[in-house]
């Protein structure tokens, strides 16, 4: 990954666009979107919770794809991409769990319940925390890359379960984008889409930055090996 690659060159633009997008998203969240009738202003936590949850799942999908490609091609870039995406996914799913817990306290009067969606998300979080811990625990770089790629593929088995849990089992967690089009007002739908896009741009910027950092780290490490 050279300093002239499109990824590296796009980092400042993505950071600026992401920051601008989040500022615009604030207008949509606090001014444009109507206050929900039942939960009141507390419902607005949803505009943070949903993008965190979705981008967390997307990051884990990136881990899966990159791990699969690594197992076929043995390209170290794919290994670095897996690590960067796993870190972002872990952060986002932790934030989705935290904001969801606050929402649950206001809506269900409990911080936590062993609902299928919540439980599968927590299991997913622990699996990917284990994935990152495993990467730190193996000294041999080749072995570490191969083992983590296998785990990166296997760990993804839980991700579709998280997504489908609210639809497949009797869950109290709302399925916002349900099979019947969801129950969101058009203004709320626009707001949540703006938030998803803004967080997506920022996520790409941070991911590319972390990739570049991991690339430099590997190159410095290789100087000592050879």
Interface with other proteins, residue 143, by CB under 8 A: no
CA atoms within 13 A on the CB side of 13: 5
182: region left, alpha or beta (phi > 0 left; psi from -120 to 50 alpha): left
- 119-154 burial, b at 16+ Cβ within 10 Å, e below that, comes to bbbeebbebbeebeeebeeeeeeeebbbbbbebbbe
Answer for which of 67, 82, 83, 99 binds other proteins (CB under 8 A) is: 99
- If the CB atoms of residues 42 and 189 are measured against other proteins, the closer one turns out to be 42
Q: Which stretch binds other proteins (CB under 8 A): 48-56, 75-83, 129-137, 165-173?
A: 48-56
Backbone angles phi, psi at 40, to 5 degrees: 70, -150
The residue from 7, 11, 45, 161 that contacts other proteins (CB under 8 A) is: 45
Is residue 217 at the binding interface for other proteins, with CB under 8 A as the rule? yes
- In the numeric block, the tokens 């039942």 are attached to 38
Question: Which of 77/169 has CB closer to other proteins?
Answer: 77
Which one, 74 or 221, has the nearer CB to other proteins? Answer: 221
DSSP 177: T
Return residues touching other proteins (CB under 8 A): 41-42, 44-45, 48-49, 52, 87-88, 91, 94-95, 98-99, 102-103, 105-106, 206, 209-210, 213, 216-217, 220, 223
């Amino acid at each position: 990954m050279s300093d002239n690659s499109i990824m590296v060159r796009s980092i400042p633009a993505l950071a600026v666009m992401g920051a601008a997008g989040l500022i615009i998203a604030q207008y949509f969240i606090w001014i444009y979107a109507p206050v929900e009738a039942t939960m009141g202003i507390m419902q607005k936590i949803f505009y943070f919770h949903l993008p965190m949850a979705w981008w967390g799942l997307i990051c884990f999908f990136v881990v899966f794809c990159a791990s699969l490609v690594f197992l076929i091609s043995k390209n170290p870039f794919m290994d670095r991409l897996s690590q960067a995406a796993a870190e972002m996914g872990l952060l986002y799913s932790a934030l989705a769990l935290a904001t969801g817990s606050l929402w649950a306290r206001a809506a269900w009067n409990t911080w936590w319940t062993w609902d299928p969606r919540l439980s599968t998300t927590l299991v997913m979080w622990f699996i990917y925390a284990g994935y990152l811990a495993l990467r730190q625990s193996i000294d041999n770089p080749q072995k570490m890359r191969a083992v983590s790629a296998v785990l990166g593929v296997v760990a993804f088995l839980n991700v579709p379960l998280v997504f489908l849990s609210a639809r497949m089992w009797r869950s109290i967690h709302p399925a916002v984008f349900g099979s019947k089009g969801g129950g969101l007002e058009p203004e709320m739908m626009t707001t949540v889409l703006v938030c998803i896009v803004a967080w997506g741009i920022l996520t790409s910027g941070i991911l590319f930055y972390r990739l570049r950092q991991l690339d430099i780290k590997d190159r410095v490490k290789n100087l000592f090996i050879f």
